[in-house]
Structure 1
Amino acid sequence: MSVRPYAAGDELAVLDLVGADRLPGQPLTTPEMLAEALAGRSPVDGGWWDELDAPVTEVICDEAGTVLGVVSYAARPGDGAGFILWLHCREDPALADALVARALDRLGQRTVHAFEFASALTLGMEGLPARHRPATRRALQEAGFTGRDLWRYMRADLPIAGLPHAAHITVNECEDPPGKRLEVREGAELLGEATIGRPIAGIGVLWWISVAPPARGRGLGLGLLGSALDLLAGLGAREAILYVDDDAPPGDAERDRTAANRLYDRAGFTEVDRLHSFTRRP
């Protein structure tokens, strides 16, 4: 096998590799999405990408020149850290080992993070799906990376019947992320809010639901969820996905997501996978 820089003629092979790892609730990666990832841009976590040097993307090939895997990595000048941004190899253990080793060799002796933030290849997926990508996870761990279980990735078909709606909702456009923001106010006081993304290929993202402490316990969260999902369906979404950052340490009431997980389970969302990020110290 040999490793070489990504070339324009590799596009279809790399899209096929990315598609082989596609999770339920994720759209097929398009050439436009791949071009954004290669250029080091992303509509989600874009600020993190702006801090990086231009990514280096390489493919690994067999003797006949067939592309078997791909890895993209970059350095961050601000603190000298390195990043394995994305990697695909049909979960072949030998290829995963080789691609991780290649990125580490090129990044040199520095702290390296892997799957730290979302790329343009997915719809906001920040982290490596641990159960669906076992060979990549093992390759990282055997190379000295320590994983962090950060996110719960969930999906549901739309529409979902039987959910209540919140009263007195106002809906406005928002640009970060691109979509709509739903608000419930009592006078000037914001009681609850939800943010949804514009559907892509029939898939809508519920980015955020929040209920102010004085308004909790009244069913406002479930009402906001019902309103947000119906709005997504009205915009053409046939399924919805969401991410729950339930990695708070015990006792951290500010970031406790027990109620959020209970809400989404009750509404009919199912967990697709857990998303992990990784760090390796020199």
Structure 2
Amino acid sequence: MRTDTMAFSTSPDSGSAIRPYRPDDGPWVRELIDADRLPGQPHCTAQKLAAAQHGALSSAGWVIPVWPQISVLADAEDRPCGIIGYLSWTDVDTGLICWVHAREDGPALGALLGQALAALAHCPRIDAFAGASPGLLGPGGLPRTHRGATHDTLVQYGFTGLRSGRYLHRGLPAEAPPAKLVADVFPCDVPPGHRLIIREAAEPIAEAVVSAEADRTATVHWIETLPTHRRRGLGRKLLAQALALLAEQGATEVALVLDDAQQPASESQAATRLFHSFGFTHVDQLWTYQHRRPRAPRPGT
């Protein structure tokens, strides 16, 4: 994270300014992030905020180290009223707006996005809210309904939106019904939690990754059955064991992202039926965004 090269810039509100993030901004920033929290989404803690400053981005099956540049919009008393994190990869001329929070205040969002676009002016392509499963500071995409002002501001600044998945949620009973143990369970580091694997002839044929938080929220990051072993009820058995495990760990609610935007309709419908049969309900549609600029002509062309 770079915080030493950014100059102050004025914002739409008199007396406020965009400046680098400072460690003492933490409590204010965590409130801003939690103001956009969806049901079942973990609360932002000091540890999560610190990890987001020099953590990892999950994308297309890869875990990529990232060090975002973080700016805050501070009011006349120098208290953060908005925050944005963004970065760029110089080798591919691509930028990424990781997250932005400003209590859905349009002018504040515009000031922050303007700052990020200016800092990423060298990037012909800029993605926003791109990622896979729920991450440290968000659900893995922009919740279109819950964050309508952010969507509108992105569009006003030239971004094109694309549906990326659906955010689902359900409560967990204090005492979950016992589930048949069909999967081996192992701890995992990324994301911190547990991996459940069903094997046949010693080969993995179905897998889930779940995590439970101290605030009693939980996430199903991943659940998948090999295509050659589907329609045997393995996904149902695996999900039942995963939810029972999360309840045993004290979770009272669980969320997941159904990444069905690129799936065939038959697979999406089957996954929807499975999750609905377990009591998951639709909370919001997640979107990702992209902004493209014409490449500057090379000298002499």
- Report the TM-score when normalising by structure 2: 0.81
| CA deviation vs aligned residue, 1:18-56 (integer Å, no higher than 9, x gap) | 121111111221112112222x31485695542x4x422
Could you say what secondary structure the match of 2:223 adopts? strand
Instruction: State which drifts further: 102-111 or 214-223.
Output: 214-223
* 2:207 corresponds to which of 179, 193, 212: 193
Alignment pair present for 1:267 and 2:270: no
Inter-partner Cα distance in structure 2 for 1:272 and 1:7: 33
Alignment pair present for 1:8 and 2:12: no
Aligned in 2, Cα 1:144/1:158: closer, same or farther, shift over 3 Å?
Answer: same
- Asked if the contact 1:163/1:267 (under 8 Å) is kept, the reply is no
CA positional deviation for 1:210: 2.2
CA positional deviation for 1:62: 3.0
- Asked if the contact 1:85/1:119 (under 8 Å) is kept, the reply is no
Task: Name the aligned partner's letter for residue 197 of structure 1.
Answer: S
User: Structure 1 regions of 5+ residues with no counterpart?
Assistant: none
- Asked if the contact 1:207/1:243 (under 8 Å) is kept, the reply is yes
- Asked if the contact 2:169/2:254 (under 8 Å) is kept, the reply is yes
Q: Which residue of 2 aligns with 1:121?
A: 137
1:240-279 alignment to 2 at 5 Å? 240-248=254-262, 256-279=267-290
Task: Name the aligned partner's letter for residue 66 of structure 1.
Answer: R
Inter-partner Cα distance in structure 2 for 1:181 and 1:49: 20
Aligned in 2, Cα 1:3/1:177: closer, same or farther, shift over 3 Å?
Answer: closer
* 2:238 corresponds to which of 224, 243, 246: 224
Inter-partner Cα distance in structure 1 for 2:44 and 2:33: 7
Give the number of aligned pairs.
274
* 2:148 corresponds to which of 116, 131, 134: 134
Sequence identity (%): 37
Q: Which residue of 1 aligns with 2:120?
A: 107
Inter-partner Cα distance in structure 1 for 2:161 and 2:27: 31
Inter-partner Cα distance in structure 1 for 2:241 and 2:268: 21
Could you say what secondary structure the match of 2:173 adopts? coil
Inter-partner Cα distance in structure 2 for 1:49 and 1:187: 33
Task: Name the aligned partner's letter for residue 209 of structure 1.
Answer: I
Q: Which residue of 2 aligns with 1:29?
A: 44
CA positional deviation for 1:264: 0.3
Could you say what secondary structure the match of 1:279 adopts? strand
Alignment pair present for 1:208 and 2:222: yes
Aligned in 2, Cα 1:161/1:62: closer, same or farther, shift over 3 Å?
Answer: closer
- Asked if the contact 1:73/1:83 (under 8 Å) is kept, the reply is yes
Aligned in 2, Cα 1:191/1:74: closer, same or farther, shift over 3 Å?
Answer: closer
- Asked if the contact 1:91/1:135 (under 8 Å) is kept, the reply is yes
CA positional deviation for 1:241: 1.3
Q: Which residue of 1 aligns with 2:163?
A: 149
CA positional deviation for 1:158: 0.8
Q: Which residue of 1 aligns with 2:10?
A: none
